Chains A and B, each alone.
Chain A
Amino acid sequence: MNDGITPRLQVYLAAKLGVRDLEISNLARIPGGASRETYRFRARYARDGNTVERALILRRDPPASLIETERAAEFRAYQAFHKLGLPVPEPIALELDGAALDRPFFIMEEIENCAVASILAPDPYGAHGEKIGEQFFRVLGRIAGADPKALGLADFEGARDPAQCWSHEIARWEKVIEEDEREPQPIVRAAIRWLKRHPPPPPRRICIVHGDYRTGNFLFDGEGNIRAILDWEMAHLGDPLEDLGWALDPLWNRGGADTAAGMLSRSRAVAIWEEASGLKVDSAALARWEIFASLKGAAIWISAAREYGEGRNTDPVNAFSGWYCLAFHNKVLAERLAGEFP
């Protein structure tokens, strides 16, 4: 069922860690999105006379990837923000060629005894919503406040000039839509044209944008502590409001217009983000980035629909994304842009 991964992973990891008699057990695939196959496993080995047992995660490329992402950049983002002290799992190994396990992969520590929220769950955080929400926006603020040069990430993909952040991202996602659209999308096309005509002011400086900071991409424990920010595969250089707009998108928010990510009030979320980042939010600019977020969502879901429809990646999450989520973001975009014509 797991393509004989265990023996090959055992050989690979023993060589990588420079240990003998490494044993891998309990390899099992877990949910982890459609862009990577995710497995948890345990590695047991001897080092310096002691027995070490580690809970690890393997993230391997699927036969077809939803959005072409830069694996090395993802791995470096994990390294940089783990080192900075943010709740990010320790990355262990990265392999870009497919020799060891047929396809590129990376290994990181597993953060155990945690949950991940689903947008299908009516109340994923229970009594801890406010507490988790505060951490969620504080960590996002810290990502925005970090200096890409100091992190060693200044060569990441993205805009170099603050004035180019907007056009760079619109061009990126318009290209995805051009390549992957399987049926005409009049709302999405109108949104692209509108966004091109309505750029926000540029940011004060270029930041690291996580790229997919949202419900479902972080782990929290039973006490309401965020333990891991995941899925850095779309990390790039850009405007920090891009991440904030995405985190505030209605798809992740079941609480209505005044709540953020279904966890706390929107005004409190923005205030926490400002405090943690040291940046001031321009409300008009954020509103533009929120519309962009729904366009970006639509682009990702259009890609998912293509992968599923053409049979390259038939994980049911692609069917869900390409249908439910695309319909959702079409409605959000239509509501917001029709509102420009009262």
Chain B
Amino acid sequence: MKPEVNQILDLSAQQLLGALAPQLPSGYAQGAAALTAFMLMLSSQEYERAAEIRVVENADMRALFAELAPRVDDAALKRKLQAAAASRDGSLKISALDDANHELRRLLIALHAHVESLKDARAMEKRIWEVLKASADRRLLKMPGA
């Protein structure tokens, strides 16, 4: 699509900051308009990356579950991990990816708490933190202009 959605968001932010906000009363109105423009810039970043972030993160969690399930002795949790590891994203809509992501995150929370209760599971904990850290790195937003 031309213009691209992220271009529309960036140019709308510029319009709001440069042409519209100065026409508003100083104080709260101008501040809220500037912050709204800032949110449009962040939304522009997210438009470009939102699907990839979720697809990669979901794949990372499934791979982690496949790797750690054989070392989990809780039978019910192991079954859930194996089922989640075998699941796939059926749609690339953000809402569908988020639904899947939330299911996988819930299971990751349960797995993490379980692993913390085990003795000599430091290597498993380390693997979980690698996945969590990669997720946090991917989702961090860049300060516009920085």
Contacts and interface: CB of A to CB of B under 8 A. Distances in A.
Contacts of A323: 39, 42, 141
Given A327-B139, A331-B136, A331-B140, A186 B108 contact: yes
Given A187-B136, A341-B122, A316 B39 contact: yes
A186 B101 CA distance: 11
A337 B116 CA distance: 13
Contact of B129 (A29, A189, A328, A334): A334
A29 B27 contact: yes
A184 B25 CA distance: 40
Interface residues of A, number: 35
A28 B35 CA distance: 18
Contacts of A31: 27-28, 31-32
Interface in A164-204: 183-187, 189-190, 193
B125 to A, nearest CB: 6
A319 B105 contact: no
Contact of A186 (B35, B42, B109): B109
Contacts of A320: 35, 38-39
Contacts of A32: 28
B105 A183 contact: yes
Contact of A184 (B27, B102, B113, B130): B102
Contact of A335 (B31, B125, B133, B139): B133
A183 B97 CA distance: 13
Nearest to B128: A190
Given A29-B29, A330-B139, A187 B42 contact: no
Interface SS of chain B: helix, strand, loop or mixed?
helix
Contacts of B105: 183-186
Interface SS of chain A: helix, strand, loop or mixed?
helix
Contact of B133 (A40, A189, A324, A338): A338
A337 B109 CA distance: 15
Interface string A308-327: 00000001110110011001
A81 B34 CA distance: 33
B1 interface: no
B118 to A, nearest CB: 14
Contacts of A193: 113, 116
A30 interface: yes
A150 interface: no
A252 to B, nearest CB: 14
B53 to A, nearest CB: 11
B36 interface: yes
Given A184-B108, A187-B136, 9 more contacts: A31-B32, A40-B27, A186-B109, A187-B135, A189-B113, A315-B32, A316-B39, A330-B135, A334-B137
Interface of A: 28-32, 38, 40, 120, 122, 183-187, 189-190, 193, 315-317, 319-320, 323-324, 327-328, 330-331, 333-335, 337-338, 340-341
5 contacts: A186-B132, A190-B129, A328-B140, A333-B136, A341-B126
